[in-house]
Chains A and B, each alone.
Chain A
Amino acid sequence: GAVVSQHPSWVICKSGTSVKIECRSLDFQATTMFWYRQFPKQSLMLMATSNEGSKATYEQGVEKDKFLINHASLTLSTLTVTSAHPEDSSFYICSARGRTGTSGLNEQFFGPGTRLTVL
C-alpha cells in the first residue's frame, strides 16, 4: 500500500509554545489530507480536511486558530498546534487520500502518528 510518514513521532513541549507536525505522502500525490486526534483507548476524531492549495475545512468544535493546517503541496501537509496547553496532549494522526498505483480514490492511508505531550 501507499506510505504516509509523519514527523516527529513524538514531541514534548512546554505550555504556551507552538508545535509543528509534518505529514508526507511518500509515493503518491495526496489530493486530500486529513488530521485526526486520538485519545487513549478511544476512536479517531477527525479534526480537519484539507485539499492541496486551499484552506482546510475544520470539524465542528475544532478551533481553527489553535490548530493551523497548511497543505502546501500534493505531498506535504502540516499541523501547527499554537500556544499548546496540557489539554492538547494527544496522539495526532494524519491521513492521505489520492490515486496510487493500485488504489482508487476511496482508499485512505494513515501516518504512524505523533505523540504530543504538553507540560
Chain B
Amino acid sequence: QQQVKQSPQSLIVQKGGISIINCAYENTAFDYFPWYQQFPGKGPALLIAIRPDVSEKKEGRFTISFNKSAKQFSLHIMDSQPGDSATYFCAAKLGSGNTGKLIFGQGTTLQVKP
C-alpha cells in the first residue's frame, strides 16, 4: 500500500518530442507528489510538485497531470532536449506536515536523442 509504481523503466525520445512518465499509487493518504531529476553521481533535484487538490501544474516545459480518482500522476516534458537525459523519480509523501516521508518510484531513465 505504500508503494509508488513508476513506468516505463527507460525511455528514448527524439529531440523536440514529448517525454511522458507515469506513476500510480494505492494509498489515499499521500498528500504531496513531487518529481525529481537525477544525473549520474549527483543527488536528486526537485523539478516540480503537485498537491492532490490540483489536476495539473505546469512549470516551463514540465507539466504534472494528476488523476485523483485513478490514483495516477504523470510527468510530461515538452520539447525534450538532450540535456534532459537523466533519471526521473516520482514520489509521494506519506504523513502530515514536517514529519512525513517520501516514498519513491523505481525511476525512469530518459535518453533524448539529438
Number of A residues whose C-beta is below 8 Å from B? 27
Per the bound structure, the CA–CA distance linking A40 and B65 in Å amounts to 29
Question: Are the C-beta atoms of B89 and A46 separated by less than 8 Å?
Answer: no
What 1/0 mask marks residues of chain B from 25 to 66 whose CB sits below 8 Å from any chain A CB?
000000010101000011111100101000000000000000
Also in contact, A43 and B89, with CB within 8 A (given A32-B99, A108-B46): yes
Question: Are the C-beta atoms of A1 and B49 separated by less than 8 Å?
Answer: no
B18 touches A (CB below 8 Å): no
Q: Which of A4, A43, A97 contacts B98 (CB 8 A)?
A: A97
Nearest CB on A from B58, distance (A): 18
Q: Which residues of the other chain, A, contact B102 by a CB distance below 8 angstroms?
A: 34, 46, 108
Q: Which residues of the other chain, B, contact A6 by a CB distance below 8 angstroms?
A: 43
Q: Which residues of the other chain, A, contact B51 by a CB distance below 8 angstroms?
A: 106
**Which of A65-73, A76-84, A109-117 forms contacts with chain B?**
A109-117
Per the bound structure, the CA–CA distance linking A84 and B33 in Å amounts to 35
A93 touches B (CB below 8 Å): yes
Question: Are the C-beta atoms of B104 and A110 separated by less than 8 Å?
Answer: no
B83 touches A (CB below 8 Å): no
Also in contact, A106 and B93, with CB within 8 A (given A46-B101, A46-B102): yes
A107 touches B (CB below 8 Å): yes
Question: Are the C-beta atoms of B106 and A107 separated by less than 8 Å?
Answer: no
A49 touches B (CB below 8 Å): yes
Also in contact, A32 and B98, with CB within 8 A (given A43-B107, A106-B32, A106-B49): yes
Q: Which of A4, A49, A108, A111 contacts B34 (CB 8 A)?
A: A108
Q: Which residues of the other chain, A, contact B98 by a CB distance below 8 angstroms?
A: 31-32, 51, 97-98, 105
| Nearest 7 Cβ contacts at the A-B interface | A110-B43, A106-B32, A113-B43, A112-B43, A110-B44, A43-B104, A44-B104
Point out residues on A near B: beta carbons under 8 Å. Answer: 1, 4, 6, 31-32, 34, 41-44, 46, 49, 51, 93, 95, 97-98, 105-113, 115
